[in-house]
A and B are shown apart, each in its own frame.
Chain A
Amino acid sequence: MSDEHQETTSEGPLPVASIDDPHMREAVGNPRRAENSIALFLVLGILGVGVFGAAYVQNWKPWTLGVSLGLGLFFLGFGLSAWGKYLMPQGPFSEARHALHSARAEREAISAALVERTGVVIRRRGMLGGLLATGFGIFGIVAIFPGLRSLGPLPGLTLTKTNWRRGSLLVDANGRAIHRDTLDPGGIVTVFPAGYEDNTQSQAVDQTVLIRVQFTDLVTEKGRATWAPEGYVAYSKLCTHAGCPVGLYERQLRLLVCPCHQSMFNIDDGAVPEFGPAPRPLPQLPLYIDALGFLRAQAPYDQPVGPGYWERTTT
């Protein structure tokens, strides 16, 4: 192996030990008893793996497979380890540890080879070296195109957009439109813009939580006087912290809670984060109720939904 150059080990006579050298004795006082115990373990191991075979063929419950195979392997392993520990020569044995480093002359030889050949062979062809480096450099850069660029589209404005439009009908996951009578105060439902409710990709950005807080219009913030008609208020369901769905509603405290990292948003107050790591309020979707009594969006979200990122421009 590694000792190719360490001739010392093969110089002297190979080490011999007498069978009654104390190092060669079993490591346990009563080898006979140890042997019997180990035999017992091995037999138990054989039984265990045998039972596993039966359990598999008979299609017994999964836990019987795990327990039988596990116990079988354990006893086999325990027996083997015990054999090694108790019935093999107790030693202690040692091997010499030789210094890893080479002789001074060897070190100098390799340094000389590197330095002097560089000077003689490579440096005098500086132009070739430069061209080669340029070639490899350009290759490294162009290799990025298939290596990275092909992996996916550029983000562009994707993160700023959802499928909510002016007039989008609010529907639940099954495509049912939300009527002004659908929810009682305290009721909550996850909504999507009609036509996108069945699409995983759209759901991921459009998901909006609709809560009916009261029967009268709710003003969550200055300038949002008409946004929550008849107490229906809608916020983006994407947490502004790490993008989890803000899936829990604490009805008494009127808080939306994110189960991932426990950010809490006050729904009366424009979903301002009251607690936890979320840095921004959940964007609010302005709603209106159409002539037939169905809820629709007045406008898209006025800002990107979800967690922050470098290109996000607004607070």
Chain B
Amino acid sequence: MSLAAPRTKRQAKSARGSYGRVGQVIDELDDRLGIAKGGRVFLDKIFPDHWSFLLGEIALYSFIVLIATGVFLTLYYVPSQTEVIYHGAYAPLRGLKVSEAYASTVNLSLFVRAGLLMRQMHHWAADVFLGAIVIHMARIFFTGAFRKPRELNWTIGLTLLTLSLANGFIGYSLPDDLISGTGLRIMFSIVLSIPFVGTYIAFWLFGGNYPGTVIIPRLFIIHVLILPAIIAALIGAHLFLLVRQKHTQFPGKGRTADNVVGSPMYPTFMAKTTGYMFMVTAVLTVLGGIAQINPIWQFGQYQPAKISYAVQPDWYMGWLDGALRIMPSWEFTAWGHTIPFVVLLPAVVFPGLIFTICYAWPAIERRFTGDNDIHHLLDRPRDRPKRTAAGAAMIALMLTLLGASATDVLANFFQVSLNEVLWTFRILVFIVPIVVGVFTWRICLEIQGGGADIGKRKRALIVTRSATGEYRTVETAPQPDDQHEELEPIEVPVKIDMTESDGDTAGEPGVRTVSR
């Protein structure tokens, strides 16, 4: 094993060195770090080729874009609520009292070259990041990828979602514009609603009564340092566990619980995924370039007594806003104390409950199924109708609440009374998840029988009529193009024998030739 011991570099080279400079570097590194075998295993790591495995990558690459554009923004943004008279280049604001945070955001948007592109990319990347996390999570859920042994990674992923939600909201608050300031005011009220400790937490968080002068600088350090550091560390842990436990895969030809079938890390996956990273970045760049988002110079500086009409938060906060809107006006006052259930239930208890259910789901499912086995092969959603129904109901609930966050816009658009819209959503929020859940469950049961030929290329069917009028359906013969379907997976070859052989390599060690 000890390749290093007595040999000189030259000896080492002559002994093994048909790989030139690369071989030399590897030798030197391996002498010091012992990377050769582990590194090779890593290069051979297999990534399943299914499209749904790319959803998490969108989140990962959006995060990279967030970091890159975010660093750019910190160079120009001033995290300060100090009020100054605006003397900058944006004429409509001249002479007005604005905070340094707001003034610097306007400045970097309008007068720093590529600043607007970076800021809008950052905002779009945040929206896409959260969306990709949610859809990735849905994929994990519906295919049962969270089951033993991957419960911990489910937990880490959910924590990533929670922290990203928080950081998204905080980032949205930093420009100190009229709309984000109103969002912060609502957040203050939500914290206030917590019994016993709410006022204390709110005052400590904001450094006194709302709005205070410290919340923007505090949110800034949370947004750019504390939460990103935790998120980055958790992404690291997420990926480490993924490598350690290896990918799940859908069942199919040659795919078992004891292997992983797909493309090797190097070079196939690396090429595909790096290209994918560029494409994700590209989409965010185009969005940042042409799709205006959060034009804060039009909203104006936050002033506590001013407000705008028909504003919605970023999409991932919509479900909470919707819940706040449709909650009946319950407030409980007795013995000298008030519990504002109207805020506490939808904005504290309800999200707490939703996240608790999500965190507990692997345990809940294990409890009901009694299934404590190790799973590496994924479920098809239809084969787990109850789980699929539960997930669909949850998504339906969230989408209904998201719709409820637009009650005013919907009432305006459809020219109906706000009252009717509100009551519609109060009823829908209970009915829609149940209906969707039941329908999903039924559909799963109905389609369970089909799909036995999954993973196989569809062949054309020919319907023929015989002379006697008899109809027959015949599958066409396999085309030459179908052949690769028949290949059995092989281990990633370390060495490639460059000599063209006559195909008769069966005798050589380690070479498996698959007959076509």
Contact = CB atoms under 8 A, between A and B. Distances in A.
Given A94-B260, A242-B185, A21 B505 contact: yes
B262 A92 contact: yes
A46 interface: no
A23 B19 CA distance: 24
Contact of A23 (B205, B330, B514): B514
Contacts of A34: none
A271 B355 CA distance: 37
Contacts of A73: 278-279, 281-282, 285
A66 B289 contact: yes
B83 to A, nearest CB: 7
A10 B206 CA distance: 59
A14 interface: yes
Interface residues of B, number: 142
A140 interface: no
A165 interface: no
A102 interface: no
With most chain B CB atoms within 10 A of its CB, the pick from A73, A90, A245 is A73
Given A3-B38, A81-B271, A69 B340 contact: no
A95 B195 CA distance: 55
Contact of B279 (A23, A74, A207, A244): A74
Given A3-B38, A200-B303, A309-B340, A15 B491 contact: yes
B110 to A, nearest CB: 9
Contact of A94 (B46, B207, B285, B508): B46
B510 A4 contact: no
B282 A71 contact: yes
A63 interface: yes
Given A16-B496, A80-B274, A204 B290 contact: no
A245 B186 CA distance: 10
B193 A76 contact: no
B122 to A, nearest CB: 13
B495 A159 contact: no
B490 A15 contact: yes
B126 interface: no
B175 interface: no
A260 B327 CA distance: 13
B261 A15 contact: no
Interface in B16-49: 37-39, 41-42, 44-46, 49
B278 A74 contact: yes
B340 A307 contact: yes
A243 B38 contact: no
With most chain A CB atoms within 10 A of its CB, the pick from B285, B288, B324 is B285
B342 A241 contact: yes
Given A16-B508, A62-B114, A84-B272, A77 B497 contact: no
A71 B286 contact: yes
A128 interface: no
A180 to B, nearest CB: 23
With most chain B CB atoms within 10 A of its CB, the pick from A16, A64, A158 is A16
A70 B285 contact: yes
B189 A242 contact: yes
Interface in B107-130: 113-114, 116-117, 120-121
A49 to B, nearest CB: 10
A271 B282 CA distance: 52
A97 interface: yes
Interface stretch (B70-78, B163-171, B239-247, B435-443): B239-247
B83 A97 contact: no
A79 interface: yes
A159 B492 contact: no
A310 B338 contact: yes
B289 A67 contact: yes
B237 to A, nearest CB: 14
B212 A201 contact: yes
B495 A14 contact: yes
B498 interface: yes
Interface in A264-292: 273, 275-280
With most chain B CB atoms within 10 A of its CB, the pick from A81, A155, A260 is A260
Nearest to B329: A279
B44 A22 contact: no
A203 B304 CA distance: 6
Interface in B478-511: 481, 483-484, 487, 489-501, 503, 505, 508-511
A3 B326 CA distance: 53
B205 A151 contact: yes
Contact of A275 (B198, B327, B374, B419): B419
Contact of B275 (A24, A82, A241): A82
A29 interface: yes
Contacts of A77: 274-282
A21 B513 contact: yes
A73 B285 CA distance: 9
Contacts of A65: 114, 117, 289
Given A307-B193, A313-B337, A94 B491 contact: yes
Contacts of A70: 282-289
A88 B500 contact: no
B503 to A, nearest CB: 7
B289 A9 contact: no
Contacts of B484: 22, 27, 90
B236 interface: no
B188 interface: yes
Interface string A11-53: 0111111111111100101000000000000000000000000
A163 to B, nearest CB: 12
B492 A15 contact: yes
B115 to A, nearest CB: 8
Q: Which 7 A-B pairs have the closest CB atoms?
A: A66-B289, A77-B278, A84-B271, A81-B275, A17-B493, A308-B340, A80-B275
Interface of B: 37-39, 41-42, 44-46, 49, 83, 113-114, 116-117, 120-121, 149, 182, 185-186, 188-190, 192-200, 202-214, 243-246, 254-255, 257-264, 267-290, 303-311, 321, 324-331, 333, 336-340, 342-343, 374, 376, 407-408, 418-419, 422, 481, 483-484, 487, 489-501, 503, 505, 508-511, 513-514, 516
7 contacts: A70-B284, A73-B279, A88-B263, A90-B484, A248-B309, A310-B199, A313-B338
